[in-house]
């Protein structure tokens, strides 16, 4: 079903390597694939396989050595640092493994952060933040600081922050990696709901086969080489 | 939510560290302010000098006197409006630790030359008509609890014996920069006594104080005075009051330079302390800065966060330091009034405090900002967890 949709992400001949001293270590080798709009893709693989690197390249927070990434019709591999920052603020919602909330800001303020880069008025920002927090079920925790929330709640705030700008793609790097089983299930259900109900394209890196089960497509990375889609 | 709120919360996130840094800055600003005020106090005499006053002294040295007979000849020189004269008396009140400046002067004209010494007309009249009268500054009278009519005895050091005076006047300064710690008495009293005790020391003065009609011609008048007494037994050196005062300062220039250097060293030390705090802060927050960048915040936003936090810390310390400068200067000035009769915190000192704090906050943030801005997002995110 997903394959019939037009691709929102087109990756062609993508390679990336790191330098350690005089040694060059290839991480991704000549990767090409498409991600249709509205797809839920899980990237799996052992540690060091390059899945987080691929996710970072897709989110525009790292740069490839060669190849191209076309997202929503925009070629991000040739963008300048400044253009890439602006593009990220508009098109990417990033969910981190360790939530990465700012501890001195309340849930409301954390979710509001990406909106400070927009031209929205204070009232409009407030409306967006309240909606996002309602979607993740934390409308009653707006004034709480991260330290006053459980891990699952913190991750939900992080998801609200990723959602609040209505991005083109949601990228999640081990979103349940720091959570207990129950909280992890809640977070996966929430991401699944965002994919099904809101039609968000989700790209998720995970080690957890149970998390990957939620995805439409699972791709494995091994030593920088991407396997064919499964499921 | 405004980023300023975030800056403020960030600044006090590590309360103990920030508090200690703020205390350090406060002490540095206080020390800087005090040292600058000491330097200003050193130059207080120069600052209080008038362009319309000249000082004539013996060309060889201030130690050597001039004949009183010069008075009338000086008065005849074009451009001279008022002439007074006097001698440094150097008397001690009970003990050396009670030191204060005391001069034998021709009081009536001397006070005309110094309109900043405000004396009630009836007190001036009483001083002029009582040979043993003296007039003291308000602060000096307060220091020893003297009242009008009190008898004051000074022990002579240059002029031997015990000298008895009756307090007939207490002058007030026209403004804060006027020295209110001096004592003046009638030169005639000194001269008549010396005539009886050591006749060869009579009819001599230490200096002439001259008022000119036009301050812009002061240099010409000074040259004319010195020309008048050229090739005499006591040649003169006439200079503006300011130059005269600077001559005294130049004798202690090394001390002033040392104080200036110390004041700047204090700022450099606190700069290193704040830089250390900001480096630790930025290192701890690298992951957060990476998150900000991931969300689309740019390098200048991150720079704003680091610089803003550094400036909040330095300016908080500065504000407390400046607030404490005034009461501390008052205590300092009272305690050391013997050495610094004018010890006021100048507005320029406060401006220098603020400039120093801005400099500290800015310089301390440069390296942490560079690190925070240049680190790759992926590397920054790896620091979390």
pLDDT of residue A143 exceeding 70, the answer is: yes
Domain for residue A4, yes or no?
Answer: no
- Whether A62 and chain B come into contact, CB under 8 Å, resolves to yes
Mean pLDDT of the region A198-208: 92
Find the CB nearest A105 among B1, B296, B385.
Answer: B1
With bands split at pLDDT 50, 70 and 90, how would you rate the model's confidence at A231? low
Q: What is the ipTM of this complex?
A: 0.92
- Whether residues B298 and A98 touch (CB distance < 8 A) is answered with no
Q: Return d(Cα B362, Cα B83) in angstroms, integer.
A: 55
- Crossing angle of helices B347-374 and B15-42, in 10° steps, is 140
Question: Which pLDDT score is estimated for B334?
Answer: 84
pLDDT at A138 over 60: yes
Contacts with A94 from chain B: Cβ below 8 Å? 294-295
Contacts of B377 (CB under 8 A, 6+ apart): A56, A61, A62, B290, B293, B294
Query: Residue A58 maps to which CATH number?
Result: 3.40.50.300
Q: Is residue A124 part of a domain?
A: yes
B60-99 residues touching A, CB cutoff 8 A: none
B53-58/B236-240 β-pairing: antiparallel
Mean residue pLDDT across chain A:
91
Half-sphere exposure of B236 (CA within 13 A, CB side): 27
User: Is the residue at A185 inside a domain?
Assistant: yes
Taking contacts as CB-CB distances below 8 angstroms, the residues of chain A near B381 are 61, 96, 100
Q: Say yes or no for a CB contact (<8 Å) between A104 and B10.
A: yes
A/B interface, count of CB pairs below 8 Å: 66
Mind telling me how many Å the CA of B321 is from chain A's nearest CA? 28
Q: Could you tell me if residue A2 is inside a domain?
A: no
pLDDT at A2: 45
B324-348 burial, b at 16+ Cβ within 10 Å, e below that, comes to bbeebbeebbeeebeebbbbbbbee
Low-confidence ranges of chain B (pLDDT < 70): 1, 384-385
Euclidean distance between CA atoms A108 and A118, whole angstroms: 16
CA B385 to chain A, closest CA, distance in angstroms equals: 6
Residue count of chain B = 385
pLDDT at residue number B253 = 85
A1 has pLDDT over 60: no
Q: Is A176 on the interface with B (CB under 8 A)?
A: no
Contact criterion met (CB below 8 Å) for A227 and A41: no
Say yes or no to pLDDT of A4 above 70: no
* DSSP for B67-96, written as a single string: ETTHHHHHHTSTTEEEEEEEEE---BSSSG
Residues 3-22 of B with CB under 8 A from A: 3, 6, 9-10, 13
* pLDDT score, position B173: 93
Task: Say how many domains are in chain A.
Answer: 1
Residue B143 has phi, psi (to 5 degrees) of -60, -40
> For residue A67, what are its two tokens?
């190849």
Q: Please, where are the H alpha helices in chain A?
A: 51-59, 81-91, 107-112, 122-135, 151-163, 181-196, 209-212
Which residues constitute the domain of residue A39? 9-226
Tell whether A216 is covered by a domain.
yes
Contact B295 A61 (CB under 8 A): no
Is residue A231 in some structural domain? no
Please say if the pLDDT value at position A187 is more than 80.
Answer: yes
Which residue has tokens 């026209």? B174
Mutate to test the interface with B, among A85, A98, A106, A158 (most CBs of B within 10 A): A85
In angstroms, the CA B317 to CA B354 distance is 10
Q: Domain map of chain B by residue range?
A: 2-44+252-381, 60-234
| Cα–Cα distance measured from residue A200 to residue B266, given in angstroms and rounded to the nearest whole number | 58
């Amino acid at each position: 079903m997903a394959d019939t949709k037009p691709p929102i992400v087109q990756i062609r001949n993508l390679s990336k390597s790191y330098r350690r001293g005089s040694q060059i270590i290839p991480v991704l080798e000549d990767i090409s694939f498409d991600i249709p709009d509205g797809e839920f893709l899980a990237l799996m693989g052992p540690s060091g396989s390059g899945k987080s690197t691929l996710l970072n390249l897709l989110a525009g927070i790292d740069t490839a050595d060669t190849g191209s990434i076309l997202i929503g019709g925009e070629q991000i591999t040739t963008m300048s640092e400044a253009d890439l920052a602006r593009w990220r603020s508009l098109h990417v919602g990033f969910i981190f493994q360790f939530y990465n909330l700012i501890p001195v800001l309340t849930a409301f303020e954390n979710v509001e952060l990406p909106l400070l880069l927009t031209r929205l008025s204070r009232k409009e920002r407030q409306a967006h933040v309240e909606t996002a927090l309602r979607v993740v079920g934390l409308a009653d925790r707006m004034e709480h600081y991260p330290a006053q929330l459980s891990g699952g709640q913190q991750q939900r705030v992080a998801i609200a922050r990723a959602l609040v700008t209505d991005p083109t793609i949601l990228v999640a790097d081990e979103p349940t990696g720091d959570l207990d089983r129950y909280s992890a299930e809640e977070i996966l259900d929430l991401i699944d709901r965002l994919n099904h109900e809101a039609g968000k394209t989700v790209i998720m890196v995970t080690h957890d086969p149970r998390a990957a089960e939620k995805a439409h497509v699972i791709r494995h990375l091994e030593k920088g080489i991407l396997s064919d889609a499964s499921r | 939510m405004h980023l300023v709120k975030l800056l403020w919360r960030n600044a006090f996130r590590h309360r103990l560290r920030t508090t200690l840094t703020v205390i350090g800055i406060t002490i540095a600003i206080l020390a800087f302010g005090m040292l600058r005020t000491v330097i200003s106090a050193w130059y207080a005499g120069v600052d209080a000098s008038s362009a319309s006053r000249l000082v004539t002294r013996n060309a060889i040295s201030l130690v050597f006197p001039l004949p009183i007979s010069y008075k009338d000849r000086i008065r005849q020189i074009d451009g001279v409006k008022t002439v007074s004269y006097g001698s440094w008396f150097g008397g001690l009140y009970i003990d050396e630790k009670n030191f204060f400046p005391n001069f034998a002067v021709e009081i009536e004209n001397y006070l005309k030359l110094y309109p900043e010494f405000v004396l009630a007309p009836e007190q001036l009249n009483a001083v002029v008509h009582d040979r043993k009268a003296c007039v003291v500054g308000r602060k000096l009278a307060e220091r020893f609890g003297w009242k009008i009519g009190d008898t004051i005895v000074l022990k002579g050091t240059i002029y031997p014996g015990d000298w008895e005076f009756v307090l007939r006047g207490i002058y007030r300064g026209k403004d804060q920069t006027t020295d209110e710690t001096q004592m003046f008495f009638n030169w005639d009293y000194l001269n008549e006594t010396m005539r009886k005790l050591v006749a060869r020391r009579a009819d001599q003065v230490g200096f002439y104080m001259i008022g000119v009609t036009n301050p812009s011609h002061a240099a010409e008048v000074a040259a004319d005075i010195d020309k008048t007494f050229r090739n005499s037994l006591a040649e003169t050196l006439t200079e503006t009051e300011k130059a005269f005062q600077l001559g005294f300062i130049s004798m202690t220039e090394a001390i002033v330079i040392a104080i200036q250097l110390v004041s700047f060293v204090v700022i450099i030390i606190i700069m290193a302390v704040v830089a250390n705090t900001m480096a630790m802060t930025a290192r701890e927050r690298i992951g957060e800065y990476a998150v900000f960048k991931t969300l689309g915040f740019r390098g200048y936003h991150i720079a704003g966060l680091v610089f803003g936090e550094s400036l909040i810390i330095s300016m908080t310390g500065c504000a407390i330091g400046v607030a404490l400068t005034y009461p501390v200067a008052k205590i300092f000035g009272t305690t050391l009034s013997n050495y610094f009769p004018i010890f006021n915190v100048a507005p320029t000192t406060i401006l220098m405090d603020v400039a120093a704090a801005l400099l500290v906050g800015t310089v301390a943030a440069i390296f942490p900002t560079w690190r925070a801005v240049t680190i790759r997002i992926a590397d920054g995110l790896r620091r979390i967890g």
